[in-house]
């Protein structure tokens, strides 16, 4: 992930990749994100909707589950990437003047229009994976990577579940069961350290 994010630096969609890896958001949620959903001063965002493109039309829909509407606390890395992205987008908007479409979306094409998920994946994400010399994965796998990294860092599964917008922690635990054996070893080692202190 470090290599991938290093190669993403300066990319027009760097902030999108940073959010995917640090927040575990779905691509449709990222593409539906509006500037009004962000509070960079206090370091959080609100997931309110998802964006879909079907039969030549854009539509905003409710998140996948009731828990899909959620508040996510941002890392400082994500806040900085979003600040740079906002400045770059403001420059684009000023340069284009009336050609720019003001959708209030955080992630847009070069004239302010919504992005299509397939275009992001095929034209931006896959070439970035190649440049970073990392395996080409599905964009959704960044969500899985975020969850796995959080769990491996000892973040409570309930917190990870809330960040991902899962309906219950049971879903999170079943999806990421492969991480649990290592966590149990770490837990046993932590108890040993506590109990064997002189």
CB contact at 8 A, 157 and 185? no
185 a catalytic residue: no
Residue with tokens 């960040």: 163
**DSSP secondary structure string for all residues of 139-189:** THHHHHHHHHHHHHTT--HHHHHHHHT-S-HHHHHHHTGGGHHHHHHHHHH
52 a catalytic residue: no
% of the chain surpassing 90 pLDDT: 64
Of 7, 17, 26, 70, which residue is the catalytic one? 26
The larger pLDDT score, comparing residue 173 to residue 33, is at: 33
Residue with tokens 């990870």: 160
88 a catalytic residue: no
pLDDT at 169: 82
Confidence of residue 58 (pLDDT cuts 50, 70, 90): confident
Mean pLDDT of 78-97: 96
| pTM as predicted | 0.87
Confidence of residue 189 (pLDDT cuts 50, 70, 90): confident
Query: Which of 116, 112, 114 lies closest to 94, judged by CA?
Result: 112
pLDDT at 191: 79
Of 166, 178, 185, 193, which residue is the catalytic one? 166
Strand ranges (E), 31-177: 38-39, 44-47, 50-54, 57-61, 70-73
Q: What is the SS3 assignment for 52? A: strand
The larger pLDDT score, comparing residue 74 to residue 56, is at: 74
138 a catalytic residue: no
Query: With 70 as the cut, is the pLDDT of residue 183 above it?
Result: no
Q: What is the SS3 assignment for 50? A: strand
Burial pattern 166-193, b for ≥16 Cβ within 10 A else e, equals: beeeeebbebbeebeeeeeeeeeeeeee
Tell me the average pLDDT of the chain.
90
Mean pLDDT of 178-197: 75
Mean pLDDT of 174-187: 72
Query: With 70 as the cut, is the pLDDT of residue 1 above it?
Result: yes
Query: Which residue segments constitute the domains of the chain, with CATH numbers given?
Result: 2-140 (1.10.443.10)
pLDDT at 181: 67
140 a catalytic residue: yes
Of 2, 55, 178, 193, which residue is the catalytic one? 55
26 a catalytic residue: yes
Of 122, 138, 140, 158, which residue is the catalytic one? 140
pLDDT digits (tens, 9 = 90+) for 117-129: 999 999 999 999 9
């Amino acid at each position: 992930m470090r290599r991938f994010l290093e190669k993403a630096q300066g990319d027009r969609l760097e902030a999108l990749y940073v959010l995917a890896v640090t927040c575990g958001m779905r691509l449709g949620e990222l593409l539906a994100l509006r500037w009004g959903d962000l509070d960079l001063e206090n370091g959080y965002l609100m997931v309110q909707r998802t964006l879909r493109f079907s039969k030549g039309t854009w539509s905003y829909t409710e998140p996948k589950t009731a828990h899909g509407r959620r508040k996510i606390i941002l890392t400082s890395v994500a806040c900085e990437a979003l600040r740079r992205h906002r400045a770059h987008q403001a420059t684009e908007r000023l340069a284009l003047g009336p050609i720019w479409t003001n959708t209030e979306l955080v992630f847009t094409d070069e004239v302010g229009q919504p992005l299509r998920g397939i275009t992001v994946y095929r034209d931006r994400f896959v070439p970035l994976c190649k440049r970073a010399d990392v395996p080409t994965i599905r964009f959704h796998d960044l969500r899985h990577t975020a969850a796995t990294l959080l769990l491996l860092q000892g973040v409570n599964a309930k917190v990870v579940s809330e960040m991902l917008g899962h309906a219950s922690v049971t879903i999170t635990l079943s999806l990421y069961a492969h991480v649990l054996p290592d966590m149990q070893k770490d837990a046993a080692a932590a108890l040993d350290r506590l109990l064997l202190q002189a």
